[in-house]
A and B are shown apart, each in its own frame.
Chain A
Amino acid sequence: MLAFVLRRIALTIPTLFALSFLTFMAIRLVPGDPIEVRRGERGITPERLEYFRHELGLDQPVWKQFLDYVWNLLHGDFGTSIVSQESVLREFVTLFPATVELSIFATLFAVILGVPAGVLAAVKRGSVFDHGLMGVALFGYSMPVFWWGLLLVLFFSVTLDLTPVSGRIDLLYWFDPVTGFMTIDAALSGQEGALGSAISHLVLPAIVLGTIPLAAIARMTRSSMLEVLEEDYVRTARSKGLPPWRVIGLHALRNALIPVVTTIGLQGGTLLAGAVMTETIFAWPGIGKWLIESIFRRDYPALQGGVLLVSTLLVMVNLAVDVLNAAINPRIRHA
């Protein structure tokens, strides 16, 4: 097991190195000079230009720039945002909890609805519910996330006036972030109504972000459950005279959930990509919105560092899923 984990970790190192090389090169390929952004309308003297080029290391040969870049990365320096003059890593760490909070609630929404729906569809195979659910899942799977968000805003916020349109909490409330999770911070602040406000801001974005994972989980649970229900041990459990809920809830479901858990774990990439759209629509101050804004502000160091950090995280999540799978299933680790 240890050998497997070490081998798997060793495999991610070249990936991370190549990722840093690609992000480094991509930003070099961007048309326009990073100094142009700083220069502004008034122009710049040649001495000052030289100074900036030196300060940013642009007077060095490219290979030297790349080595410096990797050296800095290894020391936790992911560059400095041109616009805010803040460390990219710090901006990322400040905004990241918002994205994680949103993703957690989206996943909860998807799992809590998706798993029981999938189980029920498998048990009542061929029924109206089964066909209906698979139809709904097809639509969920095919949904343009940004449009779905706008529709929900139109219905729940504009027409019914039930939920707020954007942000994480009403401006009425203010407290210092402790954990970065608005729901926890609001509860900790003890201010009346703060938690309710935070949750009401979270509902629509979580539904929007959770829709595609919900469809994926419902489909996966259904097909995995159908397979397990054919197994011998399920027949044995039935013939022993166990009540159906015990057969389905204990004997079948436990085994059916293994591929479902993998599916949930591998939704990391989908969630991050979905977060870009969801956060843009709901003005949710997380990583996705920050990445998009850094493009429009031509803040390339932020984009470069952000993409590298996001991809590194995804590589780590996939690594964790692999290791967990290997821990559960010996066939994988001896492959």
Chain B
Amino acid sequence: MPDAILAAPDTAAPPSPWRLLWADFAVNRGAVAGLAVIGFILLLAALADVIAPHDPMEQFRAHVLAPPVWATGGSWVFPFGTDDVGRDMLSRIVHGARYSLFIGFAVVVVSLAVGVVLGLASAFMAGLVDTVISRLMDLIMSVPSLVLAIVVIAVIGPSLTNTIVAVTIVYMPRYVRIVRATAQGEMAKDYVTASRAAGVGPLRLAFVTVLPNCFAPLIVQAALGISDAILEAAALGFLGLGAQPPTPEWGAMLSSAREFIQRAPHVVTLPGLAILITVVSINLMGDGLRDALDPKLKRS
């Protein structure tokens, strides 16, 4: 596919920016593989109700801790085996993809929105507003990420929604800083001065003129931010401070499975493998996106 794009210079119109981006992105085979795996996991999450062989909550009491199909004594009824109360592991992992991806995307969308507003406010209003916002972000970053998330959870209580809130608070400063720094850089450029001279209002100047030029580093940060958010949320789930049982969230599944690690290792290995594969694919994709969007940062 990438060859087809690269080998089509005879089209009259200049290639669209998306095509160019894809051409740069597709050079990196790892990134394309990551994108493909993410696509597959998204599909699993979307079609979880159809794909999962059982209800993720249904307890088959006669088949507690059944081994997966490739181990001795495994059967195709429960391809990934069952957990300590006889729930089908495959169904729980497939449904878990929904939770992890939802948390990852929700955190990034909220952080992006807050980051854009605070970052632009910081860059455009300068003075006291800038000082207050910047100091507050420094403050958040001075507490170790997981410790801060734990404190937030201690205040607002453990739940799936609160996981999103806590992880968003932890990772928001990165987005604010990126928007502030790139916006400040852009504001010194001639096109902004020209727009100002042409009488463009401050809001339009911020969101329509400057913001689109901050997108490249933001998109890269957002892509890599999804994997950080998924890891952080899984860690909270594992500590019992995130999604609560019986929710089939991967981290929470690991937490309740810990005691059975000797009797039935698959209850521990499989959910963790799901987290690892998801995070590795997102990071692969994010690295490729960074190389394609931001040649300056390219890893040689």
- Which chain A residues have a beta carbon within 8 Å of chain B's beta carbons? 14-15, 18-19, 22-23, 26, 29-31, 138-139, 141-148, 150-151, 153-154, 158, 223, 226-227, 269-270, 272-274, 276-277, 280, 291-292, 295-296, 300, 303, 307, 310-311, 314-315, 318
Contacts and interface: CB of A to CB of B under 8 A. Distances in A.
B239 A280 contact: yes
B146 A273 contact: yes
B151 interface: yes
Interface residues of B, number: 43
A142 B283 contact: yes
Interface of B: 135, 138-139, 142-147, 150-155, 157, 227, 231, 234-235, 238-241, 251, 254, 258, 261-262, 265, 268-269, 271-272, 275-276, 279-280, 283-284, 287, 299-300
B150 A146 contact: no
In this complex, the member of A139, A147, A158, A303 whose beta carbon has the largest number of chain B beta carbons within 10 angstroms is A147
A252 to B, nearest CB: 15
Given A142-B283, A150-B254, A276-B147, A303 B142 contact: no
A300 B262 CA distance: 35
A-B pairs, top 5 by smallest CB distance, nearest first, are: A147-B272, A273-B146, A142-B279, A272-B144, A273-B144
B135 A18 contact: yes
Contacts of A296: 240
A311 B142 contact: yes
Nearest to B240: A296
B135 A307 contact: no
Given A15-B142, A142-B283, A150-B268, A158 B227 contact: no
A273 B143 CA distance: 9
Given A146-B235, A273-B145, A291-B150, A26 B155 contact: yes
Contacts of A151: 268-269, 272
A144 B283 contact: no
Nearest to A12: B142
A19 B147 contact: no
Contacts of B144: 269-270, 272-273, 276, 310-311, 314
Contacts of B139: 15, 18-19, 22
Contacts of B143: 19, 307, 310-311, 314
5 contacts: A26-B155, A144-B251, A146-B238, A147-B275, A276-B239
Nearest to A318: B142
B239 to A, nearest CB: 6
A307 B265 contact: no
B154 A303 contact: yes
Given A146-B238, A272-B147, A223 B300 contact: yes
Contacts of A31: 157
A36 to B, nearest CB: 15
B261 A150 contact: yes
A296 B151 CA distance: 12
Given A150-B261, A291-B150, A295-B150, A139 B280 contact: yes
Contacts of B152: 26
Contacts of A15: 135, 138-139, 142
B299 to A, nearest CB: 6
Contacts of A226: 300
B284 A138 contact: yes
A146 B142 contact: no
A29 B145 contact: no
A144 B279 contact: yes
Given A15-B138, A19-B142, A142-B279, 14 more contacts: A30-B154, A142-B276, A144-B231, A144-B279, A146-B251, A147-B268, A150-B261, A150-B268, A151-B272, A153-B261, A158-B261, A223-B299, A295-B150, A307-B147
